[in-house]
Chains A and B, each alone.
Chain A
């Protein structure tokens, strides 16, 4: 029975690990296993009472099921004795069904209690696991908002996402299943050992001897298959990479007649993948048969010894049968031990990543005594600002400038020149390395971050809208705005008309990629959002291409409306905008190389002048 018990228990895990083979060989190792586990245990502290109850019930459940075979053995002995005496012709001999019936009733009770206990512990444990993972996810999501932006320069969104989902999931699954599995296997192992010892120490010693055998077998297989498994993962990566590359570049492949080459290359890696794939599959598939063979060796050893002991009259027939069942159960926890070790490793790795994230440095705390932003007019001053995304690479060197309230500042430069850096400094997404930025004479460090950011309105080229209605998306600028205010803002942004033409109008839900409205329309929505926010200082990113002419004119009008009487920083592409600016900041390779008005800069005949002129150079000249 027990053998099957463990078979079933393992089933869900196998599924979860997907293609990992029975040993789940995708294990990633944690750098600091012990430390991480300690942290995880500390994290679980609020649930210690529940966990203690779970422990008790898990132990109880295993104990009750462990005594089963021993008691059942009594019934079989009785059955056997009754039979023997009957066969030998003893007068009035019969099998004592009353006794056997009682034992069966007792066993039904025991197994019932065991099942109940097991259910209770699973019920409590899954509650704990879900609560813990809920809390972890919540903390991660809140942490995201407290981290400095520079963290996300070196971490991809995918990595953060996989912490919220995969890593937390791994931890939760382990808590849900493995924890109680560890406890019950451990209890089962000890319990069985005791039960076996009560039957016969000699047989116990003999069956314990097969443990090293199983361990060696497991170790050998795991070692070999792991090698091929890694190879398989590697080549799978190659195949997937090649597929991705070829498919994404299929127009190039076609245009350059590269189909044959692509197929040849593919066949090559595909073959290599095949070789490692079947080997790893084969080796990991050998585990079960070998383990069950070792189990059978144990069985035979026990039978032989048992038979001998029965002759010697040291034990009874029922005891052998009970013992045989124990031996079967005994090999299982060992087989799962390797697996659990793997699970623990990957759990440690996952929780290490989660905790590392939660422990990341946060934004510098706001000033204790913040300056009010109520009467900000919008004057901005930069005083010998130095900044670099990393200290070795300072890209803004000693930048100073004064901007009066209501002035327009155009930031120009080739793509990738770091035009948005200025914006990020102003809004304190990043802090300057040295120097100061003032708004109306107050250092921006003295404001509350949220107040400071409230001063600004942002319309970026990379429009960000979320999965929700258009109304909700515009209202994002000021969450307490009424519907009327939202519509007013949309009108001001020249967005009202097109919104009305959409199905469901303001209640149309933007899909996940917000691809059900055009790029230009998105831009108009973000402008409406900024108008609703009514900021003191504006930051605008001019649309470059992707918009049709008519919409572009509308966007320009809307932006014009928005900039009226406001200090604005424009990441500019259009010469007309640039020319009209009160101050032009010229950036190259992340550095501000020149500043001044259009005329000043042309006279200076520097980078700006050369950039400006290059556009109209005659190609023939």
Chain B
């Protein structure tokens, strides 16, 4: 895990950038509901008038309103208004103002001279109630006054139709105070927001009286808010695209760097590590697993980071909208989470067993494919079909169960979401009734609620995927954390010059890591340059293991191997392997051309070198049969050439290198007898002075070697020439007799 984090280091700034842009996106996404709610509240409900502070008002009306204010309040209000007196205005100015307020021709008009939001807010608090008083006076005339004044006898007998304001101006101070007290009581039950909403209605009528085009005002407001909303949406989109951009680069970059690291590390592995992991597992780890992590990273950066930001932001917004309703969100989140947990709890065990059932299905199918000949030969098709049917039934049953559990998920989730909306409407309805919130806020609240629920959903979805990806992560870090066990010495020695490829084993023992018994024990021999040393023995006798020790695919457990007198662990692996031409058991080729494969060990080889190597390896015939000759394509894994051809090419590849030591690890068994013989003849004729080490199965392959080592159970049980061994080595005789008749062996 730590190693993976290390790979994230170069991207710290990018990740910080992502978080920053996600914050921006969250701010935008969270303020969108505000605007949608404003469009409803102000744009539609209040006719585009935001608050009780009119931006223009007739002087006569303003006077009425200020009448119900304290002197202090009055001056504060009037300070923020400028008076347009029709007498003092020039004709052109008058015409200009008249366009907006046609009433200016008959009346002086106050206009608001500030757009400071804080001041307007203060003014809104002051002006709301007086406006309501004036509004009710204007609506109900003197009756309102009478009602408001309550017990005040002096007003009771004023005839209807009298201008209430005329009366008011004549009232005594005590009377006025009494009345104000009564009015205050009436408004006490109304919240500020409701007062504002009510006052807005008055402002609206005032605007009409002023001759303003209120419809236009409303449309403009909606247009304006819509535009801002779009702008915010645009920013949100941009932020999200930027996040997508960085996230894509970070995750692809992480994938690249992990892949590189894993690949480079694995290339440094010795056979021990390859055995430990198995080649196919290493391949999956460096391909699929890394791809998994890459995909997870995108999700992590785009969703996992975003969900909490959005969730917390939503919560803050909800709290600021109305604290008393946040419990609804809690209920919603709880309901959704428990739904998911219950369903997963029920389905998870089945999900887990699903993979096994798929494997079983695959296994049975694969068996019936690979065993087709046998099945048909024994006529057991029905038996196979029965087996398949069982696997199929088990799989189908489990699959049906899990998919039905998942079927519950969707409708239940929808039901919860819809239920939450309804709950919000019901609860918010009462809040609205109490004047604690507006209809628009209710919708904003609903949207926040959904955003929060979505955030939780995203997190829970990811938490399902996360364990799967974490398996990949640990599989990758396992590879990265494993270091190759075969390393170059700190100060590598050089080989002695002048010697050419003598190989000596001194009391060599070898044991596979973790194994109890030695595969090879106490082996000593010398293979001289210019001679052929052959190894023979039954499977598991350790002959392949033995020669794999020479290029240091494994290191000896005891004893030492010397090449030209130097312990092979004291020189660099590169130098050692430069001396060796290795031909594996199975012909392994690389994708490319025949030529690129032959050049693999020695890039600078001449055309001549390549041709002659191919000749010795008996490969010229089939190469020249190909249209492109040496330029013929080799597909990945060498699937377009036969096994024998692959083997011959891999022999030629080793020849091109012109090494001092040749190692043939049972390389001739894929060849027919004839090619085998021709090849060995050519080898003997053309390769002079090199050390030949040959592992073989066929007696005929080793018969003519200068020295034959017979191995059994990791020990040398015979050493000598064919003739010597036929006389004194029982194991050798056994092997020989199983392959050839007595006469042939002695001929």
Contacts and interface: CB of A to CB of B under 8 A. Distances in A.
A321 B361 contact: no
25 contacts: A8-B410, A8-B414, A8-B457, A12-B406, A76-B442, A87-B201, A118-B410, A133-B396, A141-B384, A160-B365, A161-B366, A176-B403, A247-B283, A249-B590, A256-B577, A278-B252, A296-B32, A296-B230, A299-B36, A458-B377, A460-B373, A476-B374, A533-B378, A618-B704, A619-B680
Contacts of A104: 422, 425-426
Interface in A264-294: 266-267, 270-271, 273-274, 277-279, 281-282, 285-286, 288-290, 292-293
Given A100-B429, A243-B286, A123 B410 contact: no
A79 B439 contact: yes
Contact of B237 (A86, A97, A251, A293): A293
A361 B263 CA distance: 46
Interface stretch (B161-169, B254-262, B313-321): B254-262
B422 A464 contact: no
Interface stretch (A348-356, A387-395, A494-502, A544-552): A544-552
B740 A289 contact: no
A253 B417 CA distance: 60
Contacts of A402: none
The 8 residue pairs across chains A and B that have the minimum distance between CB atoms: A414-B672, A122-B407, A255-B582, A548-B538, A278-B252, A115-B411, A285-B244, A300-B226
A467 B44 CA distance: 74
A138 B453 contact: no
A518 B591 CA distance: 33
B539 A72 contact: no
B367 interface: yes
Contacts of A251: 271, 548, 551, 553, 582, 584, 588
Given A118-B410, A250-B279, A548-B541, 5 more contacts: A119-B412, A127-B400, A458-B373, A467-B363, A611-B672
A259 to B, nearest CB: 5
B102 interface: no
A279 B248 contact: yes
Given A76-B439, A274-B252, A303-B226, A456 B201 contact: no
B677 interface: yes
Nearest to A456: B377
Nearest to B430: A97
A157 interface: yes
Given A274-B255, A311-B215, A464-B371, A576 B413 contact: no
A281 B251 contact: yes
Given A239-B287, A263-B267, A281-B298, A317 B40 contact: yes
A479 interface: yes
Contacts of A126: 400, 403-404, 407
A118 B454 contact: no
Interface in B90-115: none
B373 A429 contact: yes
Given A130-B399, A255-B582, A308-B219, A579 B432 contact: no
B45 A84 contact: yes
Interface residues of A, number: 169
Interface string A303-326: 110111011000001001100100
A549 B226 contact: no
Contacts of A615: 673, 677, 700
Nearest to B48: A307
B629 interface: no
Nearest to B650: A252
Q: Which of A119, A257, A299, A619 has the most CB of B within 10 A?
A: A619
A165 B362 contact: yes
A450 to B, nearest CB: 4
A142 B354 CA distance: 23
Nearest to A466: B367
Contacts of B251: 278, 281
Nearest to A550: B538
Interface in A140-189: 141-142, 144-145, 149, 152, 157, 160-161, 164-165, 172, 176
A245 B591 contact: yes
Given A239-B287, A259-B267, A277-B294, A466 B260 contact: no
Which has the most chain B C-beta neighbours within 10 Å: A101, A248, A263, A550?
A248
Contacts of A385: none
Interface in B575-591: 577-578, 580, 582, 584, 588, 590-591
A215 B432 CA distance: 41
A115 B414 contact: yes
Contact of A108 (B358, B363, B422): B422
Contacts of B385: 141-142, 145
A488 B670 CA distance: 37
B738 A553 contact: yes
Interface string B560-584: 0000000000000110011010101
B453 A255 contact: no
A82 to B, nearest CB: 8
A252 B588 contact: yes
B260 A267 contact: yes
A454 interface: yes
Interface in A94-114: 94-95, 97, 100-101, 104, 107-108, 111-112, 114
B486 to A, nearest CB: 9
A262 B286 CA distance: 15
Contacts of A307: 39, 43-44, 48, 218-219, 222
Contacts of A277: 248, 252, 255-256, 294
B709 interface: no
A79 B429 contact: yes
Interface in B350-403: 358, 361-381, 383-385, 388-389, 392-393, 396, 399-400, 403
Contacts of B40: 317, 320-321
A222 B410 CA distance: 28
A230 B577 CA distance: 41
Contacts of B574: 257
B240 A289 contact: yes
A545 B539 contact: yes
Contact of A304 (B219, B234, B241): B219
B684 interface: yes
A144 B393 CA distance: 18
A80 interface: yes
Nearest to A448: B379
A515 interface: no
Contacts of A84: 45
B233 A293 contact: yes
A538 B412 CA distance: 65
A296 B399 CA distance: 40
Nearest to B405: A126
B746 to A, nearest CB: 11
A415 interface: yes
Interface stretch (B77-85, B177-185, B503-511, B637-645): B637-645
B248 A285 contact: yes
A246 interface: yes
A418 interface: no
Given A549-B735, A617-B677, A619-B680, A270 B256 contact: yes
B419 interface: yes
Contact of B415 (A115, A306, A456): A115
Contacts of B233: 292-293, 296-297
Contacts of A133: 396, 399
Interface core residue of A111, A519, A553 (most chain B CB under 10 Å): A111
A4 B577 contact: no
Contacts of B430: 97
A304 to B, nearest CB: 5
B432 A88 contact: no
Contact of A255 (B252, B417, B551, B738): B551
